[in-house]
């Protein structure tokens, strides 16, 4: 089974990225043919600020979090230029209405990101990312389901005209994760400024966690946990007895949300400890990271070429 995911280098990686996507990818390694890339062209759609620095930072984070270049093909999107060629080819199989219905464009422009053409056509580039490598499974957060569906629609249109060239991808959402809330309770996203990042400084992390929006309930009163943003983040790091124990603390009353926030900061810090150590290694060996990425791009290109050749022949670009 071929599994593929991409992530935008548009800011610090956050716990939504980790639980919504990276963790699934790491777990799939070894059992599937895994492909992971840093979507730097995608990051340009929402400004591309500090792109070069964030690309390396994101790659370093990925390696620290367990993407293993011996088990996965791992590269930077712009190092396999064929994706832009496919993007253009697929654009001719993308009805305007399909893009006009995309939630992500509406959500992002509503948040003040300028409505430029690349933001609008971004699902087509994402379809190219997916289809170029014959991906069968795309692990994503709930917000990206529609984009995988768009890729399927485009692939169907293309295949109807040219035969069975493109592999039909399926999305895979980790049911218990779905959408991780941000500190304001909306979807956690780098572009919304509401994230809890994975690799922050300990004091800053706590400061961010303290800003999580919670209900106003008196200290002694029992508290709802299902709807609490702090609980909904903490549950990502807890299992079994520890999770039940936290629920009991909510139900018992006598503690404020501030106590739960401190607890969340602690469990999170502990959870990522080993990854922080790995990160330090890669941070100090950036040339090794670049080497890994170069090799990854070479491998990704080798996988892409047979498909791109078939497409060139089918569409008449080969002459
Ligand atoms: P962001 O919205 O922060 O810019 P990306 O769009 O780069 O994040 O998303 C990278 C991956 O992480 C995608 O698979 C996406 O679905 C997943 N993801 C992002 N935010 C969340 C979230 N809040 N909850 C669950 N998954 C998420
Ligand atoms: N659009 C995705 C996001 O913002 C990132 C991405 C780009 C991606 N290309 C992809 C994810 C291909 C999966 C497959 O989250």
The set of residues, in sequence order, having a beta carbon less than 8 Å from that of 14 and lying 6+ positions away, is 180, 188, 189, 190, 195, 196, 197, 198
Span 2-179+285-315 CATH architecture: 3-Layer(aba) Sandwich (3.40)
Distance 209 CA to ligand 2 centre (A): 27
Which two structure tokens, joined as six digits, stand for 227? 């709807």
Q: How far is the CA of 224 from the centre of ligand 2 (A)?
A: 34
C-alpha angle with apex 136: 135 to 139, nearest 5 degrees? 85
The pLDDT confidence band at residue 166, using thresholds 50, 70 and 90, is very high
Contacts of residue 292, Cβ cutoff 8 Å, sequence gap at least 6: 59, 63, 69, 74
Question: Which of the four pLDDT bands, split at 50, 70 and 90, describes residue 139?
Answer: confident
Residue 66 scores a pLDDT above 80: yes
Domain ranges (residues) in the chain: 2-179+285-315, 200-271
pLDDT confidence of residue 176? 66
Mean pLDDT taken over the chain: 94
Q: What is the pLDDT of residue 215?
A: 93
The CATH class of 200-271 is: mainly alpha
Q: Is the pTM of this model over 0.85?
A: yes
C-alpha–C-alpha distance, residues 288 and 280, integer Å = 13
Ligand 2 centre distance from Cα of residue 36 (Å): 10
Looking at residues 33-47, what average pLDDT do you find? Answer: 94
Query: In this model, does residue 70 exceed pLDDT 70?
Result: yes
Ligand 1, from 17, 173, 180: best to mutate by most atoms within 8 Å of Cβ? 17
Q: Which residue has the tokens 């599994």?
A: 3
pLDDT > 70: percent of the chain:
99
Which of 19, 59, 141, 151 is the pocket-test mutation for ligand 1 (most atoms within 8 Å of CB)?
Answer: 141
Least distant ligand from the CA of 119: 2
Is the separation of the CB atoms in 76 and 289 below 8 Å? no
Atom 14 (ligand 2) nearest CA = 5
């Amino acid at each position: 089974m071929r599994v593929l995911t991409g992530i935008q280098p548009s800011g610090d990686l956050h716990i939504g990225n980790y639980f919504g996507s990276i963790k699934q990818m790491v777990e799939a390694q070894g059992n599937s043919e895994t492909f992971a890339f840093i979507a730097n062209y995608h990051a340009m759609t929402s400004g591309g600020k500090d792109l070069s620095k964030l690309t390396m930072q994101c790659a370093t984070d990925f390696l620290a979090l367990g993407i293993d270049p011996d088990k996965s093909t791992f590269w930077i999107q712009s190092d396999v230029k064929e994706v832009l060629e496919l993007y253009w080819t697929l654009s001719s199989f993308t009805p305007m209405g399909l893009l006009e219905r995309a939630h992500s464009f509406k959500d992002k422009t509503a948040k003040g990101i300028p409505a430029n053409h690349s933001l609008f056509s971004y699902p087509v580039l994402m379809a190219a990312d997916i289809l170029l490598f014959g991906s069968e499974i795309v692990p994503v957060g709930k917000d990206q389901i529609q984009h995988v569906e768009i890729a399927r629609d485009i692939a169907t249109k293309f295949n109807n005209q040219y035969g069975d060239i493109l592999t039909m991808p399926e999305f895979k959402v980790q049911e218990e994760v779905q959408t991780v809330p941000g500190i304001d309770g909306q979807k956690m996203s780098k572009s919304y400024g509401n994230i809890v990042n994975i690799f922050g400084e300990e004091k800053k992390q706590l400061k961010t966690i303290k800003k999580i929006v919670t209900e106003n309930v008196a200290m002694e009163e029992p508290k709802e946990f299902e709807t609490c943003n702090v609980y909904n983040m903490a549950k990502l790091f807890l299992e079994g007895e520890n999770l039940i124990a936290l629920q009991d603390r909510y139900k018992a009353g006598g503690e404020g949300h501030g106590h739960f926030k401190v607890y969340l900061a602690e469990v999170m810090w502990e959870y990522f400890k080993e990854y922080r150590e790995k990160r330090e290694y890669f941070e100090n060996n950036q040339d090794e990271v670049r080497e890994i990425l170069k090799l990854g791009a070479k491998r990704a290109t080798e996988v892409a070429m047979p498909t791109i050749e078939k497409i060139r022949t089918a569409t008449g670009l080969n002459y």
